[in-house]
Amino acid sequence: MKRVIGSLRFDIIFIQPMDMFSSVPYVKSLGHISVLRNKGFKVGLIDPAADKKNISHVLEEILESQAKVVVISAFPSTLPFAYRLSNLLFKTNPNIRMVLEGYHINASPDILFHLPIKYGLRGDSEFALLHLCNSLLRDEDIDETTKGLIIKKDNKLIVNDFGYIKDINILPIPAYDLMSYGKYFSASTNKKIMHYFSARGCPYDCNFCAFAAQRSYRVLSEEIVIDHLSYLINTLKYEWIEFMDLTFTISKKRVLSLCEKILEQNIHFDWGCETRADLIDEELVSKMYDAGCRKITFGVESGNEVVRFKTGKKITNKQFIDAFALCKKHKIRTMANFIIGHPGETERQAQESIDFSKEIDPFNVFFTRMTPLPDVEVFYQGVKNKEIDPGIWVKYMKGEIEHPVYYPSSMMPETMERLYKKALYSYYLRWSTVKQYAFLFKKPKYLINTVMVFLSFTFGTPKFK
């Protein structure tokens, strides 16, 4: 199903983020690939995490492909890989044009000053990249005012406005056929999983959110979503679809209609999504289950309402308790996301998060240390209060420091680390948690991956999801 690069020749190659701990499918680049392929370009994809390829293998495949343009995707956590790869590539073949894509370049275009990469993408950048590739591969002039395009020129940056596609229905189906089938991991299922966006943007504004660059909320039509799902399930044979919409149930009417169409079309698959506790009710959850929903993720963030409300998420503990109970009633697994280390958070308040996780009792709980992502409120607060070095991500990228963590002045770093580990141990080593995972452990590979992820989170560096 997936292409093998080997002796194949490409005009453009995309390099997926290198995150060996979990091999999560990164699908954002797939839309760019489809737009380019529709215009006749030969496009390849290298997914080093899923295919267990080290940087030497990736470099070798790029050179063998004779690609003239290389698009490197990077989260903040995967910046070191992008830094090493781009420098090796530039040293080996300085004529290759490199483009940086992903969250970090969206949030912090200045990162290009520290990389041998001349171009970057921001916002809805499918057509910006198409224009860039047309110009680079056909020796045409680049329109330096193109929205969605960043250019490093004469030691200065040309940073254009975010690219914006008002009607995302005009885009072709993403290039899912290039993904590494069956090699991705989810803590929710041992089935073959793929991520899918049926919408872009989010109307909410949490102070820690990694999607500050998102524009207005837009959705794909129900007909297009159904066509995409049919392709993923019936043609590519995926068994679980994870809807990556930032808040899936913003429109109850839309979700009910989508569920009805899934049932009418007899598309049989399991799926998960993420939403808010104040955006579900009995009718909606029941219909979602009938249509195959088997997991809902909620961003709880803190077990203390005062801390949670300060993030911009004004949802009460009772609303969360009711939401998790409602999902359990309808046999839908839940996942709760918590953050340890909110600005001003105390040890007692962090302990409340640990206690609250057990009270709502989700199938999965995801605790993370607060990560000071660039261009979000927490980052700026930390810099202003001298809790964060403004150059922290560049230093991390170059290997000068460990992965950045925000430690609020209200809590000692060693206290926060102790509470973080306690949160994971005290939840996942309970018998009630272990036994509910038993049915998933039928596949040895899944069991090994689950244990490795647990150890990585407990003893390793923070991970950006």
Block mean pLDDT (10 aa), the chain, length 465: 61 89 86 97 95 94 96 94 97 96 93 98 96 95 97 96 95 97 87 96 73 71 98 98 96 98 97 97 98 97 96 95 98 97 96 97 93 88 91 96 93 96 90 76 71 66 48
Is residue 340 within 8 Å of 367, Cβ to Cβ?
yes
At 158, the amino acid letter reads I
What is residue 4's predicted lDDT score, i.e. its pLDDT? 47
Query: Which of 280, 281, 318, 277 minimizes the C-alpha distance to 300?
Result: 277
Q: Which domains does the chain have, with CATH numbers?
A: 12-159 (3.40.50.2300), 186-459 (3.80.30.20)
Is residue 121 within 8 Å of 101, Cβ to Cβ?
yes
Q: Phi/psi class of residue 197: alpha, beta or left (left: φ > 0; alpha: ψ in -120 to 50)?
A: beta
What is residue 22's predicted lDDT score, i.e. its pLDDT? 64
Helices (H), 44-97: 55-65, 79-92
| Residue indicated by tokens 């009630």 | 432
What is residue 5's predicted lDDT score, i.e. its pLDDT? 54
What is residue 1's predicted lDDT score, i.e. its pLDDT? 43
Residue 382: both structure tokens together? 């930390």
Taking CA atoms, 374 is separated from 196, 200, 347, 424, in Å, by 25, 20, 25, 26
d(CA 190, CA 186): 7
Helices (H), 118-181: 126-137
What is residue 464's predicted lDDT score, i.e. its pLDDT? 43
Query: Which of 348, 363, 345 minimizes the C-alpha distance to 437?
Result: 363
What's the maximum distance between 2 C-alpha atoms anywhere in the chain? 64
What three-state secondary structure class fits 355? helix
What is residue 465's predicted lDDT score, i.e. its pLDDT? 37
d(CA 137, CA 212): 32
